[in-house]
Amino acid sequence: MSTTAAGLKTLHHLYLRLHDVNQKLERGPKRVQFKEQFALQQEDILNSEKEKVTELKKQVQQKNLDLHSNEAKILELKGKLNSAASNKEFDIIKGQIEADTMANSVLEDEILELMEKIDAAEMEVQSCVSKKNAAEEDAKKTAQEFEAARNSLDEEIEECKRAIAESEQIIPENVKVLFQRLVRSHGAGALANVEGRFCSACNVLIEPQLRVELNSERFVFCKSCGRLLYVDDSQE
């Protein structure tokens, strides 16, 4: 591999490394935010399940009130039954007692059913509490891990930038402006190696004349995508 090609290959790898580190630095806060949002979602689910329990308990309370009201009514009717002035009145009162007794039986069944639902809902609440706590712990751990890694990532970025500045000295002044424009547009994609006879960035055939110039250690840009080319003999 020629000196120019080796230098450009090193430069390309440095830009790729810088891109990778920057990606890690950008992904960190996004991962933390995702974990925190998931924890908030678990908290919302927990609150929703708690509301279900509260609503079920309200229904039980209301039905108990209705049950007690009917029981008091039955006692009152039983008192009237003994003082009925006629058989007709007696039958009417007796019918009301039977109807209220039946209504109470239905209420008791409904209360038992609601109590079972409350037991199941409270178990679901406990499950949601565990999920919420686990999600919050995971979010906290992710944030701590990112904070611990942030300094080393910042240091690696600065190290890459210093190495890039040193490696870019290989680029002559007459092509540096064009190359810097490529870096601003494509980052690590400003350079591309030649794979066989094709540009690895756009997969377009490299003309024989350009290949001759590359072999002569001249700085050559792909006529199709504009990338700065180099030949990596190790891949041929």
Condensed to tens digits (0 to 9), the pLDDT of residues 138-161 reads 999 999 999 989 989 999 999 999
* Predicted TM-score (pTM) above 0.75: no
pLDDT of 131: 97
Hey, how many other C-beta atoms are within 10 angstroms of the C-beta on 65?
Answer: 11
pLDDT of 1: 61
pLDDT of 95: 92
> Are the C-beta atoms of 124 and 49 separated by less than 8 Å?
yes
Exposure string over 87-113, b if 16+ CB within 10 A, otherwise e:
eeeeeebeebbeebeeebeebeeebee
The encoded tokens of residue 159 equal 């190290």
- Which residues of the chain fall below pLDDT 70? 1, 234-236
Q: By C-alpha distance, which of 188, 199, 203, 236 is closest to 221?
A: 199
pLDDT of 235: 54
> Are the C-beta atoms of 28 and 150 separated by less than 8 Å?
yes
H/E segment holding residue 90: helix 87-167
H/E segment holding residue 230: strand 228-231
pLDDT of 206: 92
Q: Is 223 helix (H, G, I), strand (E, B) or coil?
A: coil
pLDDT of 85: 81
Distance, in Å, from the CA atom of 196 to the CA atom of 189, rounded to the nearest integer, reads 19
pLDDT of 234: 64
Are β-strands 191-195 and 228-231 bridged in parallel, bridged antiparallel, or unpaired? parallel
> Are the C-beta atoms of 221 and 185 separated by less than 8 Å?
no
pLDDT of 3: 84
Are β-strands 198-199 and 191-195 bridged in parallel, bridged antiparallel, or unpaired? antiparallel
